[in-house]
Homo-oligomer: A and B are copies of this chain.
Amino acid sequence: MSKKTLIVFSGEYDRVMAAFIIANGAAAMDDEVVMFFTFWGLSALRKENVTETPSKSKSFLQKAFGALLPKSPEKLGISKFNFGGAGQSMMKKVMKAENVMTVSELIDTAKEQGIKMIACTMSMDVLGISKEELIDGIEYAGVATYLGEAEDANVNLFV
């Protein structure tokens, strides 16, 4: 049993999927796994329906970023051949036929396996994302926390 950390910087469906497949694979082998979500990677943690009022007021520009960012992991585009979403749904159809889990399912599995998911608070400020907009069961911290986690891990990836 060892430890792995992943920085999820990218917000594309395929990259987020790769990160969760590695994370879940490691957790299944009894590794301790920490995922640090920063910048566009935060989109993967967005709740589909936000009912609470954000605890922090947003500037006009933060609202604009919020509007541009996908509102749930299943709405993330893929990094190649996305064609305005057509490529992504095409990929998801093949995944279903091949019994490959969607990102939403991978996130649920990650939670069940006790993978620690940390949202980068500085990126949340820059992109204007409040805690109320992110899924439950995650932690909030900055780069120092990530570095502390990586210190005793033997595999650290930036996705």
Contacts and interface: CB of A to CB of B under 8 A. Distances in A.
B150 A155 contact: yes
A91 B126 contact: yes
Contacts of A21: 122, 143
Contacts of A2: 151
Interface in A41-63: 59, 61-62
A135 interface: no
A143 B25 contact: yes
B80 A100 contact: no
Interface in A116-159: 122, 125-128, 142-144, 146-147, 150-151, 153-159
Contacts of A18: 7, 9, 38-39
A86 B103 CA distance: 30
Given A59-B97, A62-B94, A79 B122 contact: no
B151 A154 contact: yes
A15 B22 contact: no
A100 B126 contact: yes
Interface of A: 2, 4, 7, 9, 11, 14-15, 18, 21-22, 25-26, 28-29, 31, 38-40, 59, 61-62, 64-65, 68, 79-81, 90-91, 93-95, 97-98, 100, 122, 125-128, 142-144, 146-147, 150-151, 153-159
